[in-house]
């Protein structure tokens, strides 16, 4: 098992290894002493991993209840959030009890927000089961639900008590969902780590999961330790995301987040004249990720500007200078369309 200590305002460990679900009870006892644990999961993950998780917690002496909601982004809303809070209240969880988020980023974001707000905050533990959740959403304390007006519009920063990533759970991920996570993994290489990028270039989807996930979490830790509340360096993690958001929205969300980020990274790399653009695009293609879109620049720019990360007259774009080095550039709103056009 690899362990990384996250140095946010509240420190915690991320444990990464094989077969950790069956050791979850033991790992939980090392960080908190709840009487009751509520596992929050979704309708795809619970049938696969619910029982092993529950057994492990019960064997460690915890009383376990579970709440399962329909899988998918459309559940990450106010109605599900309130149902979770009601479930916690009906089951009389107290301030010293604990929530476990068992699933991908949807479960993690929603259960994390419920944990942050139920009784003004109780402990929660992230147990990511998608690649995206393992390398990104389970670490760093961003929690959120979507509002009708847009994604992640209600949420807060609330760090988990522990993250436990059992890499065996990734074996049941449908290939397109695994590939979506690969776009985020490649992003870490482009942002911070030429050696990671070279490993990915050569290995493709057969990369060493434990080593690569561990490296991505270490890299995310360096960012979160410096800028937990997303006022500076953490924005680098948005590489490909502003244009990607435009692609997701412009396609009426028929293009997945990972695919959109892949296309977004390719567009910014081409447009800013990065000397490594062809290598970045080649690596994305090696993973079966798209690097082009038929949507036009005007549609993309308009959709991208509805992203909550823009300010009144400028949008912060993350531009690769070379593999392992990117910078944050404040781009006037009026120039976004021509910037995108140049990278299509």
Tell me which residues touch ligand GLY (CB under 6 A): 136, 140, 142, 230, 234, 237
- Grouping H, G, I as helix, E, B as strand and the rest as coil, residue 27 is helix
Among residues 117, 123, 143, 105, which one has the least CA distance to residue 35?
123
For ligand NAD, the closer of residues 71 and 314 by Cβ is 71
| Binding positions for ligand NAD, 156-175, rule CB under 6 A | 169, 172-173
Q: What distance in Å separates the CA atoms of residue 129 and residue 131, rounded to the nearest whole number?
A: 7
Q: What distance in Å separates the CA atoms of residue 160 and residue 325, rounded to the nearest whole number?
A: 29
Is 13 an interacting residue with respect to ligand NAD (CB under 6 A)? no
Is 52 an interacting residue with respect to ligand NAD (CB under 6 A)? no
Is 142 an interacting residue with respect to ligand NAD (CB under 6 A)? yes
Shortest reach from residue 313's CB to ligand NAD, in Å: 26
Bridge-partner residues for 162, per DSSP? 13, 125
Shortest reach from residue 280's CB to ligand NAD, in Å: 20
For ligand GLY, the closer of residues 230 and 302 by Cβ is 230
Among residues 120, 2, 97, 95, which one has the least CA distance to residue 40?
97
Q: What distance in Å separates the CA atoms of residue 147 and residue 67, rounded to the nearest whole number?
A: 21
| Binding positions for ligand NAD, 54-83, rule CB under 6 A | 71-73, 76
Is 133 an interacting residue with respect to ligand NAD (CB under 6 A)? yes
DSSP 8-class letter at 248: H
Shortest reach from residue 32's CB to ligand NAD, in Å: 21
Shortest reach from residue 235's CB to ligand GLY, in Å: 8
CB 78 within 8 A of CB 152: no
User: Could you tell me what percentage of the chain is helix, strand and coil, using 3-state DSSP and rounding each to the nearest 5?
Assistant: 50, 20, 25
Q: Which residues bind ligand NAD (CB under 6 A)?
A: 42, 44-45, 48, 71-73, 76, 103-107, 109, 129-130, 132-133, 136-137, 140, 142, 151-152, 169, 172-173, 177, 180
């Amino acid at each position: 098992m690899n362990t990384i200590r996250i140095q946010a305002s509240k420190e915690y460990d991320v444990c990464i290894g094989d077969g950790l679900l069956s050791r979850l009870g033991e790992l939980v006892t090392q960080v908190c002493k709840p009487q009751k644990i509520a596992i929050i999961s979704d309708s795809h993950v619970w049938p696969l991993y619910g029982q092993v998780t529950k057994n492990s917690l019960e064997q460690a002496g915890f009383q376990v209840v579970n709440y399962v909601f329909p899988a998918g982004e459309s559940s990450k809303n106010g109605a599900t959030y309130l149902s979770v809070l009601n479930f916690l209240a009906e089951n009389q969880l107290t301030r010293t009890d604990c929530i476990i988020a068992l699933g991908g980023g949807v479960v993690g974001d929603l259960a994390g927000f419920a944990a942050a707000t139920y009784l003004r905050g109780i402990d929660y533990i992230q147990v990511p089961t998608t690649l995206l959740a393992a390398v990104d959403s389970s670490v760093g304390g961003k929690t959120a639900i979507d509002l009708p007006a847009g994604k992640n519009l209600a949420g807060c920063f609330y760090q988990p008590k522990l993250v436990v990533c059992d890499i065996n759970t990734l074996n049941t991920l449908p290939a397109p969902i695994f590939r979506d996570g690969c776009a985020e993994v490649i992003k870490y290489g482009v942002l911070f780590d030429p050696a990671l990028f070279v490993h990915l270039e050569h290995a493709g989807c057969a990369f060493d999961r434990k080593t690569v996930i561990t490296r991505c979490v270490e890299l995310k830790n360096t960012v979160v330790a410096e800028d937990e509340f997303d006022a500076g360096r953490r924005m680098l993690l948005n590489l490909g995301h502003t244009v990607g958001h435009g692609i997701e929205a412009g396609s009426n969300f028929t293009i997945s987040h990972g695919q959109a980020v892949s296309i977004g990274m390719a567009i910014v790399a081409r447009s800013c004249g990065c000397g490594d653009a062809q290598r970045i695009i080649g690596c994305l293609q090696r993973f079966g990720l798209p690097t082009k879109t038929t949507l036009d620049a005007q549609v993309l720019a308009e959709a991208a500007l509805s992203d909550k990360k823009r300010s009144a007259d400028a949008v912060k774009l993350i531009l690769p200078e070379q593999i392992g080095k990117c910078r944050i550039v404040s781009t006037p709103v009026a120039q976004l369309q021509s910037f995108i056009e140049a990278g299509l």
